[in-house]
Amino acid sequence: MVFPVVMYGCESWTVKKAERRRIDAFELWCWRRLLRVPWTARRSNQSILKEISPGISLEGMMLKLKLQYFGHLMRRVDSLEKTLMLGGIVGRRRRGRQRMRWLDGITDSMDGFNIKSVQSQGFKLNVWDIGGQRKIRPYWRNYFENTDILIYVIDSADRKRFEETGQELAELLEEEKLSCVPVLIFANKQDLLTAAPASEIAEGLNLHTIRDRFWQIQSCSALTGEGVQDGMNWVCKNVSAKKK
């Protein structure tokens, strides 16, 4: 009963680093009390967590609730509070103003999560850039609703992770909310000599077996910009076809 009470309303909290440390300290205090281990005992926090094996930390549970709330909020109509939530605070910081926004906590936790509006060929595309770290992947499905195009970026120079990359892509394509959604695979870092060509990646990912949607693999380099616009042209073409 303790953790649900502590997390009540946490979806709207702006949690700073100092507060994260306090949350971690409180969680460890709870686990020590549960195991009847006093602070004077010579037991490390790691040994306590290993014995409890909570699976997910208190901070992790709070992040999960925040991401679910954020996903619901972003799926609402454009006339609601998205602009206010995503907009920055203009002017100098005054006494009492928050040092960070609620969304900053989301982007910090997602390590690269970003939302951009991109204009291309008369289309305004709302692009959700979601990180690919292992800890973030379970939360991907919170953002599948009303997706028009899936863009999957691959590091062409990291051959050791091709198998893992293929498995993740296959799982994404099996998601019900992404059924029949066209997919663009960006084979990034083609400016490196060690990069695998797009044809080799397509064969390794068994893209030829995809029959339920349109797909395209595009060689590109985020550093030089080569191939990026070609990929976006394909995106606009398929968005246009889907809207007809």
Residues annotated as part of the active site:
133
More confident residue, 36 or 16: 36
Q: Is 189 among the annotated ligand-binding positions?
A: yes
Length of the chain: 244
Domains and CATH numbers, the chain: 1-110 (no CATH), 111-243 (3.40.50.300)
More confident residue, 210 or 108: 210
- Kindly state the DSSP code that residue 93 receives in the 8-state scheme: P
Summarize the confidence of residues 151-158 as an average pLDDT.
90
Cβ neighbours of residue 188 closer than 8 Å, sequence gap 6 or more: 153, 154, 155, 156, 220, 221, 222
Q: What are phi and psi of 155, to 5 degrees?
A: -80, 105
Summarize the confidence of residues 203-221 as an average pLDDT.
91
Cβ neighbours of residue 194 closer than 8 Å, sequence gap 6 or more: 157, 159
Q: What is the pLDDT of residues 113-146, one digit of tens each?
A: 666 777 777 777 777 777 666 766 776 777 787 7
Q: Is 132 among the annotated ligand-binding positions?
A: yes
Residue 2 pLDDT > 90: no
Looking at residue 72, what is its pLDDT?
Answer: 55
Looking at residue 77, what is its pLDDT?
Answer: 46
Range 38-44 contact pairs with CB under 8 angstroms and sequence separation of 24 or more: none
Please identify which residue in the block is written with the tokens 């926004």.
Answer: 101
Q: Model-level pTM?
A: 0.59
Q: Look at the alpha carbons of 95, 96, 100, 103 in this order and tell me if their dihedral is positive or negative.
A: negative
Q: Which of 1, 26, 23, 28 is nearest to 13 (CA)?
A: 23
* Interior angle at CA 139, CA 22 and CA 67, nearest 5: 55
Within 10 angstroms of residue 136's Cβ, the number of other Cβ atoms is: 17
Q: Look at the alpha carbons of 221, 223, 229, 235 in this order and tell me if their dihedral is positive or negative.
A: positive
Written as one letter, the residue type at 168 is E
